[in-house]
Structure 1
Amino acid sequence: MGWAIGAAARHAATALLGENVVRPPTESGHAALDEDEYLVLALDRERQLTSLPAHALEMLISCGAYGEILLRALAAQGWKADRVRFVNPAPAGQALGDDSADRIFGDRWPHAWAPVCVVRLRHVHADSEDLVELRETARARHTNRGPYRPESIDPAVLTELSTPRSGLSLFQAAPGRDPKVTVRHVVADAERAEVADLVSRHGGRDFSHLLAWQETHSFIRRSEADAEARGDGFTLGQLFGPLAPPRQYGMRIALAPATMRLLRHVGYHRVLARQLAAMVRSSPAAVALCFADEAPSIESIVCGGAAMADYWLAATRAGLVLHPVSVILQHDDVRDELEKRLGLPGRAFFVSRLGCALTAFPPSHRLATSRTLRLV
C-alpha cells in the first residue's frame, strides 16, 4: 500500500480519481487533518505467486483482504474511504514502460509494485468499530490446520455469517456498484463428503505440480527464527502442529521439491491429499464464497477479497477458525465440479473448513509495516 504524500503521487492519485485540484501538503509532508488523503493499493510483483493461472486471481484477493483490514482500521480512527478507482495491474513479467507506476507516482514508488486501486480518504467522525477490538480480532484471524470439534455450529451463528458481503470499506467508497459476494455454508454430511471427495481425488495436484510445489515450498521456513528473520512464511509447526524433532527432520526431507519429484511417482501426493480430505470430512462445516460472475472484473475480485476478510473477522469474533482448501479452486475442471456438486450460485473463489478449534495454531509471520506500507 502506498500513502501518497509527495506532490507527484498526490497529483497522480487525484488524476486517476478524476479530480482537478490538489491542495499542497503541509510541512510535515502530508495533508492537514481537514484535507484528503490518498492510498494506492498495489500488487508486489516480486512476491506474487505465478506458477498457476489461478494465482493471478488469488493475489488480487489477498490485496483486497489487506486493503479491507487497513481501511477499517483507518475508519475506526476517523478516516473514511469515500471514493475509489480500480485499475488493472500490469501482468507478472511484463516490462514497465514510460507510463509505469514509478514514473506516475514519483521516484519513491517501489518499482515492482503494480497499482490496483486508488482510494480517497476524508476525515469524518470515528467509525463505530473499536480499534482495539479490531486489532485483537485481526491478530487472532489466522489459519488453523488442526482438528476441529465435531459438534455442529450454532445455526444462528451461521445465519449471521451468511449475510451477503461486499467488503465494507471498499464498497462504501464505490456507491452504486455493489456486486455482493454470496456466502454458502456446507453443513450436511453428504455435501461435506462431496467436498472431501474432490480434495481426496485432486488435492495432490499442488504437490505433484513441480513448479507450483517449488513455489509453495519456497515459503516453508526451517525454524521459527528463520521465519522471524525473513518476516514471512510458514514453519512446519504452523503447517502440521507440534512435531517432535525426528518428525520435523523427516517432514523437511519429504517435502523438499527434489524428494517430492521422486515420491509423486509412488503416490505420496495422494496420501497427503487423503489426509487433508479426512480433515474436511470430519469438520462440522465448510464455507464457500462466490462471485456473481464467471469472469469477475478487477473491482469484483479485489472487493471479493475484502468480503473474504470481512467474513473471516466475523467468524473469528464468533469463536470460529478457518483452514482454506484452495487446491480445489486452482484448477478450472475441479472448481467447475465443485460448483455443480454443491449447486453454488456463482464462481467459487474461497473454500475453507470451518469450526471450533481443538488446539491452538501459531500465526504465520507477516512482513513489517515498513515493507507493506510506503510513503510515496
Structure 2
Amino acid sequence: MSAAHSATCPTGGLEAIRQLLALAALAPSSHNCQPWHVSLLDAHGHPHADPGAAPNALVVGIDRRRALNALPAMQGEMHISAGGFAAIVLNLLRLSGWQARASLLPGACTTQDDALEPLARIELGAFDPGRRSAGLAALAAALRRRCTDRGLYRGSFALHDTMRQDVLPHSLADAQAGEPWHWHVVQPGLRYDQLGAFYRQHAMRDFVHGPAWRETYRHLVFSGTAQPRDGVGINIQSLFGPMPAWRRCLHRVLLHPRLLGALGPFGASAHVGTQIERLIHSSPAVIYLSTAASHAQAPCRHLLAGEAIARLWLAASVSGLSLHPLSVALQHPDLRARLGHLLGCDEELLFIARAGVPRRPANPALRYRRDPSVFCSPPLAAGPAAHHRTQE
C-alpha cells in the first residue's frame, strides 16, 4: 500500500468500506439471488490482509455458484444485476470522499477461483472526508427506500421528472457521445391494452418451463417472517400478499415443480396471466430500456445497462415510485421478438417493468439481504446485523 493511501485512510477504513458495501447490497437482482462478489486487493494485486486499512482496489464480479443459469438470457440478467451493484459501489465510494476510478473488464474470466467472474475493477486512492458529498445521504436514503413491489399500483409516472432525481452522478464508463440507452414509456391506451393481453397470454411461460421454474422455486421462501439462512430469495407473501401458515404450506405444494409440471396449464399457472394483466392495468406506466443495434453486441453492454437501470430505479424511489420487472418476455427469444414487434421497437430490449406508487406499504420483515461478510474475499467481519434487507 502506498504511503499516501495509508496516511489518508481513516481509522477503521476497512469497516467504512464494509458499511458502504452493505448499502450497495440493497441493489436489485433477479430472483433476489444477489450474485455479486467483491474481491479486496492490496497494492500488489494480492488479497487484502491489513484489517486496519482500506484495500487498494475492489474487483466486483459474479459468483457463478449463486447466479441464475436455467435460461441463456439469465447470463445477461446476472451482468445487469452486477452492473447496477458495481455502479452503486462506485458512487458510494466517491460520494463518501474516496478517490475512486472504475474500469470494466470485458471477457475477463481468469481468477484464482474458477467460480468467480470479474467484471469491474475500482481503484481506491486517497480518502478525504472534506470531499464527502451531500449526495451520499440522498443515495443511501434511495437505496433503503427502493423496493420491488409486486402488488397493485396507483399514481402517475413522468419519465423526465423522474430522471431529474438522479442519485448516481458517477458512471462506470467514461461518457460517450451518442448515449446508447433509450428509455421508453407506454401509458394507458391501445398499445397498453395490447401489452396487457400479451402478458395474459404468455406470463405463464416460466411456470411451464421446467428448468426455469425449478430455478425460481429454489428462490421462493415460504416462511412467515423468519429470515432465510442465506439472506436471499423472495417470500411467497411478496408475490401473493399476506397469508396464514396453512396457505403458505399449500402454495409450497401447489407450486412444486413436479406437481406444476404434471398439471401444466391447468394448474396454478393458469391464473398467472390474468393476474399480471390486472397488475399492468393498475399501473400508470410500463417502461422499457433498449439499445441501438450498433451497440447490441458491445462488450459490457449488460453491465452498463445495469447502471442505467439502477439509476432510474433509484430515481423512481426518490419520487415514491416502485418498479416491478416483467422479465419473462425477455428471457425467451420468441417472446422477446414478439414483444419488440408489439412495442414497435427494432432495438435490443434489455429491461421492462411496470411503474407506479404501491397501494400498500411493503412488509419490512420480508426484506432479505446478504451481509458483506459473506460476499467479500478475504471475508470481512460481520456487521451488527447478519443480513441487510430490502423488498425484492
Q: Do these two structures clear the TM 0.5 threshold for a shared fold by scoring above it?
A: yes
C-alpha distance 220-285 of structure 1, shift in aligned 2 (>3 A): same
Alignment of 1:140-219 (within 5 A): 140-149=145-154, 151-153=155-157, 155=158, 158-161=159-162, 168-171=169-172, 173-176=173-176, 179-219=179-219
Cα distance in structure 1, aligned partners of 2:41 and 2:67? 23
Q: Secondary structure at the match of 2:46?
A: helix
Q: Distance in 1 between matches of 2:228 and 2:131?
A: 34
Are 1:86 and 2:105 matched, yes or no? Answer: yes
1: CA distance between counterparts of 2:73 and 2:83?
A: 16
**In percent, how many aligned pairs have the same letter?**
28
Query: 1:94 matched to which residue of 2?
Result: none
1:4 aligns with 2:41: yes
Q: How many Å apart are 1:372 and its aligned residue?
A: 2.3
1:134 paired residue number? 139
- Structure 1 residue 79: Cα displacement: 2.0
Contact kept in structure 2, 1:6 and 1:29, CA below 8 Å: no
Unaligned runs of 5+ in 2: 1-37, 380-392
Partner residue, 1:366:
369
| Residue in structure 1 matched with residue 62 of structure 2 by the alignment | 43
Note the 1:274-353 alignment, pairs <5 A.
274-293=274-293, 295-344=296-345, 346-353=347-354
Contact 1:322-1:352 within 8 A present in 2 as well: yes
SS at match of 2:71: coil
CA change 1:170–1:260 in 2 (3 A) is same
Q: Is the 8 A contact 1:186 1:285 kept in 2?
A: yes
**1:95 corresponding residue in structure 2:** none
Matches within 5 A, 1:215-234: 215-224=215-224, 227-234=227-234
Residue of structure 2 equivalent to 1:263 = 263
Does the 8 A contact of 1:227 with 1:235 survive in 2? no
* Per-residue deviation, 1:69: 1.5
Mapped contact 1:238–1:364 kept (Cα < 8 A)? no
Aligned-partner residue type, residue 255 of structure 2: L
Q: Which moved more, 1:59-68 or 1:220-229?
A: 220-229
Whether contact under 8 Å (1:4, 1:39) holds in the other structure is: yes
- Secondary structure, in 3 states, of the residue corresponding to 1:74? helix
Q: 1:27 to 1:268 in 2, by over 3 A?
A: closer
Structure 2 residue aligned with 1:20: none
Residue number in structure 2 paired with 1:13 = none
Once residues 162 and 131 of structure 1 are traced to their aligned partners in structure 2, the CA distance between those partners, rounded to angstroms, is: 18
Alignment partner of 1:7: what SS? coil
Describe the SS at the equivalent of 1:272.
Answer: helix
Structure 2 residue identity aligned to 1:332: P
What amino acid sits opposite 1:3 in the alignment? L
Aligned residues: 336
Give the whole-Å Cα distance in 2 for the aligned partners of 1:184 and 1:73. Answer: 28
Q: Which moved more, 1:357-366 or 1:43-52?
A: 357-366
The alignment yields a C-alpha RMSD, in angstroms, of 2.8
Is 1:75–2:94 an aligned residue pair?
Answer: yes
In 2: Cα distance, 1:273 partner to 1:38 partner: 46
1:15-30 matched pairs, under 5 angstroms:
28=52, 30=54
